[in-house]
Amino acid sequence: MNHLKLTLLSRKQCGSIISLLNQAEWVDGRTTAGAQASRGKINQQVEQRSPQLIEIQNIVQAAMWNQPAIKSFCLPRKLHRFQISKTSKGGGYESHVDNAYMSNGRSDLSFTVCLSDPKSFEGGSLEIDSISDSTEWKLLQGEIVIYPSTTLHRVNTVTSGERIVCVGWIESYIKSETDRVTLFQLDSGARGLLAKHGRSDELDQVFLAYTNLLRSLGT
């Protein structure tokens, strides 16, 4: 599994964030895209120095740090480069790959948090490519999906309404996607056995192996 999807924010939290955004300054989303990607990016984003963006970043970041599954899956060193994106009818973002390095860190994983009620807009699904196919995600309000920044992905055209999301990037202690997935599977399996059967000497050895493998692979 190279992606993680779960509920991050409540509907009430999303409603509060949407209210904050009514006071925010919006700019053309192409200002934060590279020369090639900007040609296919049709949306608006909250101005980076906006106090509303800082407040929303604090809410989302706190929720992410408090979610054990996110910490296990991402092994995050840093959450960075938060953006709020608004895509209206006719807008979207054509196929692109995220920059490897940004002003605040390396992009190992990308994430999208849906702030809008999905019933309030049509289209606008996030589509992520794999080696053999692609997967479309239309998240529920408050859900987050985290996926490798190394993938080609796009936001399909919004055909009605308005799609508002929070996006950002994660620098992991583990650069390799394969190593991160292996560590996540090992940690998840060990914690599942602990919950089901309790502590044992054998399980201690699994946690020991996990910890030392993490130590050897970390950057």
**pLDDT tens track of the chain, all 219 residues?**
789 999 999 999 999 999 999 999 999 988 876 666 567 899 999 999 999 999 999 999 999 999 999 999 999 999 999 999 999 999 999 999 999 999 889 999 999 999 999 999 999 999 999 888 899 999 999 999 999 999 999 999 999 999 999 999 999 999 999 999 999 999 999 999 999 999 999 999 999 999 999 999 988
| Separation CA 79–CA 182 (nearest Å) | 21
| Cβ proximity of 75 and 214 under 8 Å | yes
Query: Same structural domain for residues 108 and 204?
Result: no
Select from 119, 116, 99, 118 the least CA-distant residue to 107: 99
Give me the number of domains the chain comprises.
2
Select from 62, 108, 110 the least CA-distant residue to 83: 110
Which CATH number fits the domain that encloses residue 66?
2.60.120.620
Expressed in percent and rounded to 5, the helix, strand and coil fractions of the chain are 35, 35, 30
| Separation CA 214–CA 160 (nearest Å) | 46
- Report the pLDDT value the prediction gives residue 33, as an integer from 0 to 100: 67
- Report the pLDDT value the prediction gives residue 126, as an integer from 0 to 100: 97
Buried b (16+ CB within 10 A) or exposed e, 33-45: beeebbeebbbbb
- Report the pLDDT value the prediction gives residue 131, as an integer from 0 to 100: 84
The encoded tokens of residue 23 equal 């006071």
Task: Output the CA torsion 9→12→13→19 (10° steps).
Answer: 140
| Cβ proximity of 186 and 192 under 8 Å | no
Inter-CA distances, 106 with 77, 152, 169, Å = 10, 17, 8
The encoded tokens of residue 161 equal 């309404």
CA 3 to chain centre: 9
| Cβ proximity of 111 and 6 under 8 Å | no
Query: Same structural domain for residues 144 and 212?
Result: no
Q: Which domain holds residue 115?
A: 4-172
Query: Same structural domain for residues 80 and 21?
Result: yes
Query: Same structural domain for residues 129 and 193?
Result: no
- Report the pLDDT value the prediction gives residue 103, as an integer from 0 to 100: 87
Instruction: Give the three-state DSSP class for 127.
Output: strand
Specify the pTM: 0.94
Domain final position from 172, 187, 206: 172
Query: Same structural domain for residues 112 and 200?
Result: no
Query: Same structural domain for residues 190 and 205?
Result: yes
| Cβ proximity of 10 and 142 under 8 Å | yes
- Report the pLDDT value the prediction gives residue 36, as an integer from 0 to 100: 60
- Report the pLDDT value the prediction gives residue 31, as an integer from 0 to 100: 83
Query: Same structural domain for residues 68 and 108?
Result: yes
CA 81 to chain centre: 11
